[in-house]
Chains A and B, each alone.
Chain A
Amino acid sequence: EMVMTQSPATLSVSPGERATLSCRASQSVGYSLAWYQQKPGQAPRLLIHSASTRATGIPARFSGSGSETEFTLTISSLQSEDFAVYYCQQYNNWWTFGQGTKVEIK
């Protein structure tokens, strides 16, 4: 069964700083990788699909990279509304989610 591992579990960042989140797949998923943002009481919000394509309406400060088993989500300059939990999801074979990275205010 596919396993997605995100690191770190928690990332403490000051507003305006860059945040880099990692996601590793236990086997290759090609480019079938999405990133979501989730805030308390809300459904996940799609940020990135196909490893690096921003979803409609997503600000340019969010970028994704990687392929096969190693992926990265970068938030170039954190805004107050970006503090949330982020999940990666593979959709190459069924769906599998990482355990999440919480981005908190430093």
Chain B
Amino acid sequence: QVQLQESGPGLVKPSGTLSLTCAVSGASISSGNWWSWVRQPPGKGLEWVGEISHSESTNYKPSLESRITISVDKSKNQFSLKLSSVTAADTAMYYCATRHGTSFYWGRGTLVTVSS
């Protein structure tokens, strides 16, 4: 059973950088999966923000591409999200997720608030 766990600061200042990590268990991040980040602003829908492959290829949501970096740390079996120049519009629950075989696995999410 694949398990994902997000971690990182819950509060980020405007214009700062949001940094989150997703720890993976039950699967190797070096396997043939893509590892994704999804966010959900309070009271709104789900938004895919980007993904990284086992070979470290990345795909980003076009509207975020100038501010986003997703990376992997194979030694720790985890992947990370960095989002720069954040504003209040980046306040959201951030989930890490993956498609493994025919199923999808999600973390429980972590709330990030952008506020001074």
* A contact set with B: CB distance below 8 Å: 1, 34, 36, 43-44, 46, 49-50, 53, 55-56, 87, 89, 91, 94-100
**Do A43 and B48 form a contact, CB below 8 Å, given A49-B102, A50-B102, A95-B36?**
no
Interface stretch (choices B9-17, B66-74, B78-86, B105-113)? B105-113
Does B108 lie within 8 Å of A95, measured CB to CB?
A: no
| A33 CB, min distance to chain B CBs, angstroms | 12
Contacts of B59 in A (CB 8 A): 94
Contact digits for B3-34, partner A, Cβ 8 Å, 1 yes 0 no: 00000000000000000000000000000000
Does A43 lie within 8 Å of B106, measured CB to CB?
A: yes
Question: B47 interface residue, CB < 8 Å from A?
Answer: yes
Contacts of B47 in A (CB 8 A): 97
Does B104 lie within 8 Å of A34, measured CB to CB?
A: yes
Of A34, A87, A95, the most chain B CB neighbours within 10 A belong to A95
**Identity of the chain A residue whose Cβ is nearest the Cβ of B104 in the assembled complex:** A46
Query: Can you spell out 19 A-B residue pairs with CB atoms less than 8 angstroms apart?
Result: A43-B108, A43-B109, A44-B46, A44-B95, A44-B106, A46-B103, A46-B104, A46-B106, A49-B102, A49-B103, A49-B104, A55-B103, A91-B99, A94-B48, A94-B51, A95-B38, A95-B48, A95-B51, A97-B48
Contacts of B102 in A (CB 8 A): 49-50, 53
Contacts of A46 in B (CB 8 A): 103-104, 106
Contacts of B109 in A (CB 8 A): 43
In the complex, what distance in Å separates the CA atom of A55 from the CA atom of B108?
18
**Identity of the chain B residue whose Cβ is nearest the Cβ of A87 in the assembled complex:** B46
| B57 CB, min distance to chain A CBs, angstroms | 12
**Identity of the chain B residue whose Cβ is nearest the Cβ of A93 in the assembled complex:** B59
**Identity of the chain A residue whose Cβ is nearest the Cβ of B43 in the assembled complex:** A40
In the complex, what distance in Å separates the CA atom of A53 from the CA atom of B107?
22
